[in-house]
């Protein structure tokens, strides 16, 4: 679960990471002096889209941004600074330990940074004094301790997937301040943090749906098979509109909801469904598809294989749905239709 | 599993001790079960919130192979668990995996029997259904399997692709190896490096799912996500090409590559 910038910063404050003074608002407010008005959206690249503005006129800036449909703003004091760095912690999958990532090039996409330092900080020992010395020497600054300790604490205690400060500013008077926050909590661990969810007014949602740019809706069972189906559509000249994995043992109702979810996306012109029934029953899937077709009228191409496949195919054929044995033929037909 | 011929000696469910399921006695704890029966493997179907305890319990009672089917176990819990298991000589397969099958011999997992037949291809995969798909395709083209292992779709798992490929390389029943990977993490890259160094002698053929996946979006599996540009589709394909491991464009090209 990705947190909003202001939510992430509230957590930063709690663990002792310095942040600018600011307020969260959904209405225009009066503000003395120079400020940064930051639209609170979960998508990135807010700066490039002109949704983060430095201004002396906070009131009217918020009014303008509201016209663009933005609902929530973080208004912060403007902090003059000399340098911007990057700092984050995420899990290193190879060592199964937290990894601190630092860069002297802050404020840009870290993937584009040429100068990056990665330090493994094992769970068993946590952050130690010599880690701080190494990090401070690399960035050429002092006072990193509360920042690294804070990030690490957030990462471990809140089961985060990623805690990121980009940029971490070095102010003209030599202080380090987190100008932005990116905190992604691990969905699987949210049940341990009910208090935090309550505080944020958020709910645990579990969803494997990912929206993409194209016009062919994709549904599969199993992440690998669903991804492979997306890739096949692309290789055959089509463009996937989404990724939706119905998971193992999907019920009729779950399949119906999934087909409706994909079908209701206005960009979707047709839907490809690829099912290998292991613990999933093809007849349940077929019934779910037929149910959904009562509510949406878009062409559907289905490949069913595995448990109860004959029954599933029969149900689909009786309801006039295109059903295939061969995945490649199904995708070819779907792309060309 | 019983139907497939797997010898299941006991089940464990707290509160159900003393009952029987399909003739298999059930115990409240693993300790009670291993006192009465000899077991060298265990399979965990326990819901995520309780699965971590179940795996610790199996390790503490000396079970050497633990297959964890459960999905949605928190990743930091898993990180600690994998280390705990290694230090005590237990091997975890999974979590979030379909388990493993030695066709016509034994099944520890939920893989559907229809997809497999005895043969000499070893398959290791991060996916479930895609593995069944490929296995059935191989079966239909006359290629059976020695062992098929789904290692799981999570970011932290007990057994890596490279570890399984090395076991296949030493396994006299395996002649060729199929690797089914996906975006996220660097397990595929590690395999390619080892292959390039000459550590694996047998033929390896690979497929990677997720060519069209956007970055920082989780594609169903907790582990199928690219952060900081690590473990992209391109990076994996590049690594395999460099190691001269043939990569199938689609899962349906795997049989052709195995035969060439």
Query: Over the stretch A301-337, which tens digit does the pLDDT of each residue have?
Result: 999 999 999 999 999 999 999 999 999 999 999 999 8
DSSP character for A240?
B
Question: Given this model, what pLDDT does residue B109 score?
Answer: 97
What would the mean pLDDT of B220-241 be, rounded to a whole number?
91
What would the mean pLDDT of B44-60 be, rounded to a whole number?
97
For chain A positions 3-62, those within 8 Å of chain B (CB to CB) are: none
Question: Given this model, what pLDDT does residue A67 score?
Answer: 95
CA B211 to the chain's CA centroid: 22
**Residue A202, phi then psi, degrees to nearest 5:** -115, 160
Question: Given this model, what pLDDT does residue B260 score?
Answer: 87
What would the mean pLDDT of B180-208 be, rounded to a whole number?
97
Question: Given this model, what pLDDT does residue A108 score?
Answer: 82
Question: Given this model, what pLDDT does residue B31 score?
Answer: 97
CA distance A121 to A263: 46
Question: Given this model, what pLDDT does residue A12 score?
Answer: 98
Instruction: Say yes or no to pLDDT of B229 above 90.
Output: no
Question: Given this model, what pLDDT does residue A43 score?
Answer: 81
| Angle ∠(A120,B76,A221) on CA atoms, nearest 5 | 120
Instruction: Say yes or no to pLDDT of A73 above 80.
Output: yes
Instruction: Say yes or no to pLDDT of B38 above 80.
Output: yes
Q: Is A199 left (phi over 0), alpha (psi -120 to 50) or beta?
A: alpha
Instruction: Say yes or no to pLDDT of B175 above 80.
Output: yes
CB A40 within 8 Å of CB A74: yes
**SS3 state of residue A92:** strand
pLDDT tens string A34-62: 999 999 998 877 888 899 999 999 999 99
Question: Given this model, what pLDDT does residue A114 score?
Answer: 87
Instruction: Say yes or no to pLDDT of A206 above 80.
Output: no
Options B22, B37, B72, B221, the catalytic residue:
B221
What would the mean pLDDT of B159-181 be, rounded to a whole number?
98
Options A164, A284, A309, A324, the catalytic residue:
A164
CB neighbours (10 Å) of residue B214?
13
Question: Given this model, what pLDDT does residue A268 score?
Answer: 97
Instruction: Say yes or no to pLDDT of B228 above 90.
Output: no
Q: Which of B69, B76, B225 to mutate to test the interface with A (most CBs of A within 10 A)?
A: B76
pTM: 0.92
CB B248 within 8 Å of CB B123: no
Instruction: Say yes or no to pLDDT of A203 above 90.
Output: no
Question: Given this model, what pLDDT does residue A211 score?
Answer: 94
Q: What is the 3-state secondary structure (H, E, C) of A16-58?
A: CCCCCCEEEECCCCCCCCCEEEEECCCCCCCCCCCCEEEECCH
Q: What is the 3-state secondary structure (H, E, C) of chain B?
A: CCCCCCCCCCEECCCCCCCEECCEEEECCHHHHHHHCCCCEEEECCCHHHHHHHHHHHHHCCCCEEEECCCCCCHHHHHHHHHHHHHCCCEEECCCCCEEEECCCEEEECCCHHHCCEEEEEEEECCCHHHHHHHHHHHHCCCCEEEEEECCCCCCCCCCHHHHHHHHHHCCCCCEEEEEEECCCCHHHHHHHHHHCCCCCCEEEEEEECCCCCCCCCCCCCCCCCCCCCCCHHHHHHHHHHCCCCECCCHHHHHHHHHC
Contact B153 A223 (CB under 8 A): yes
Question: What is the C-alpha end-to-end distance of chain B, expressed in Å?
Answer: 35
Instruction: Say yes or no to pLDDT of B244 above 80.
Output: yes
Residues of B in contact with A123 (CB under 8 A): 76, 79-80
**SS3 state of residue A84:** strand
What would the mean pLDDT of B56-72 be, rounded to a whole number?
97
User: Which residues are within 8 A (CB) of B11 and not within 5 positions of it... i.e. 6 or more apart?
Assistant: B21, B24, B25, B26, B27, B33
**Domains located in chain B, CATH noted:** 11-93 (3.40.50.720), 99-259 (3.40.50.261)
Question: Given this model, what pLDDT does residue B186 score?
Answer: 94
Instruction: Say yes or no to pLDDT of A204 above 80.
Output: no
pLDDT tens string A286-308: 999 999 999 999 999 999 999 99
**SS3 state of residue A310:** helix
CB A73 within 8 Å of CB A24: yes
The closest alpha carbon to A229, from A179, A281, A185, A273, belongs to: A273
Q: Which of B116, B129, B135, B213 to mutate to test the interface with A (most CBs of A within 10 A)?
A: B129
ipTM of the complex: 0.93
CA distance B121 to B137: 12
The closest alpha carbon to B209, from A331, A249, A222, belongs to: A222
CB A120 within 8 Å of CB A98: yes
pLDDT tens string B85-110: 999 999 999 999 999 999 999 999 99
What would the mean pLDDT of B21-46 be, rounded to a whole number?
97
**Domains located in chain A, CATH noted:** 21-77 (3.30.1490.20), 81-200 (3.30.470.20), 210-336 (3.40.50.261)
Question: Given this model, what pLDDT does residue A177 score?
Answer: 98
Nearest chain B alpha carbon to A242: B213
Average pLDDT, chain A: 95
Q: Which run of H or of E encompasses A336? A: helix A327-336
Q: Which residue has the higher pLDDT, A249 or B145?
A: B145
Q: Which two tokens stand for residue A185?
A: 């909590």
**Residue B181, phi then psi, degrees to nearest 5:** -110, -175
What would the mean pLDDT of B177-202 be, rounded to a whole number?
97
pLDDT tens string B112-139: 999 999 999 999 999 999 999 999 999 9
Contact B252 A328 (CB under 8 A): yes
């Amino acid at each position: 679960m990705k947190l909003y910038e202001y939510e992430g910063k509230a957590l930063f404050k709690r663990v002792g990471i310095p942040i600018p003074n600011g307020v969260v608002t959904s209405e225009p407010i009066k503000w003395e002096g120079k400020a940064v008005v930051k639209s609170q959206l979960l998508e990135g690249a807010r700066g490039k889209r002109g949704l983060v503005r430095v201004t002396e006129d906070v009131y009217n800036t918020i009014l303008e941004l509201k016209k663009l449909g933005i609902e929530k703003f973080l208004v912060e004091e403007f902090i003059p600074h000399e340098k911007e760095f990057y700092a984050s912690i995420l899990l290193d999958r190879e060592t199964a330990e937290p990894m601190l990532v630092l860069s002297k090039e802050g404020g840009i996409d870290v993937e584009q940074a040429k100068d990056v330092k990665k330090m493994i900080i094992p769970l068993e020992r946590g952050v130690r004094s010599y880690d701080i010395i190494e990090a401070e020497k690399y960035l050429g600054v002092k006072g990193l301790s509360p920042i690294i300790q804070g990030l690490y604490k957030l990462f471990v205690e809140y089961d985060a997937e990623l805690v990121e400060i980009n940029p971490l500013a070095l102010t003209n008077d030599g202080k380090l301040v987190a100008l932005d926050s990116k905190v992604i909590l691990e969905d699987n661990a949210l049940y341990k943090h009910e208090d935090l969810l309550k505080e944020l007014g958020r709910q645990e949602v579990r969803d494997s749906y990912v929206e993409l740019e194209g016009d062919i809706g994709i549904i599969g069972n199993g992440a690998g098979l669903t991804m492979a189906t997306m890739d096949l559509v692309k290789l055959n000249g089509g463009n996937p509109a989404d990724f939706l994995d119905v998971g193992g043992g999907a019920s009729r109702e779950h399949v119906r909801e999934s087909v409706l979810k994909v079908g209701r996306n206005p960009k979707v012109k047709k839907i490809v469904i690829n099912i290998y029934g292991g613990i999933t029953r093809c007849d349940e899937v077929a019934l779910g598809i037929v149910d959904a077709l009562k509510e949406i009228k878009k062409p559907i191409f289905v490949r069913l294989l595995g448990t109860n496949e004959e029954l599933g195919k029969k149900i689909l054929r009786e309801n006039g749905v295109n059903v295939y044995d061969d995945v490649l033929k199904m995708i070819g037909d779907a792309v060309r239709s | 599993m019983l139907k497939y011929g797997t010898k299941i000696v006991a089940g464990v469910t707290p509160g159900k001790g003393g009952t029987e399921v399909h003739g298999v006695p059930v115990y409240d704890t693993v300790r009670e079960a291993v006192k009465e029966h000899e077991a060298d493997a265990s399979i965990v179907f326990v819901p995520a919130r309780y699965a971590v305890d179940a795996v610790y319990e199996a390790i503490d009672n000396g079970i050497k192979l633990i297959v964890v089917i459960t999905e949605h176990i928190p990743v930091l819990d898993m990180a600690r668990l994998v280390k705990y298991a290694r230090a005590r000589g237990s091997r975890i397969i999974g979590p979030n995996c379909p388990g493993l099958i030695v066709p016509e011999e034994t099944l520890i997992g939920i893989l559907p029997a229809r997809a497999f037949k005895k043969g000499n291809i070893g398959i290791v995969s991060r996916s479930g259904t895609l593995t069944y798909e490929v296995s059935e395709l191989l079966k239909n083209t006359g290629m059976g399997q020695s062992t098929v292992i789904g290692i799981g779709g999570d970011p932290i798992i007990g057994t890596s692709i490279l570890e399984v490929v090395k076991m296949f390389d030493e396994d006299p029943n395996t002649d060729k190896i199929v690797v089914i990977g996906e975006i996220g993490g660097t397990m595929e890259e590690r395999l390619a490096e080892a292959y390039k160094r000459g550590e694996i002698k047998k033929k390896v053929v690979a497929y990677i799912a997720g060519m069209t996946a956007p970055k920082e979006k989780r594609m169903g599996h907790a582990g199928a996500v690219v952060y900081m540009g690590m473990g992209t589709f391109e990076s994996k394909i590049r690594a395999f090409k460099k190691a001269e491991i043939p990569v199938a464009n689609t899962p349906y090209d795997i049989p052709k590559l195995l035969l060439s």
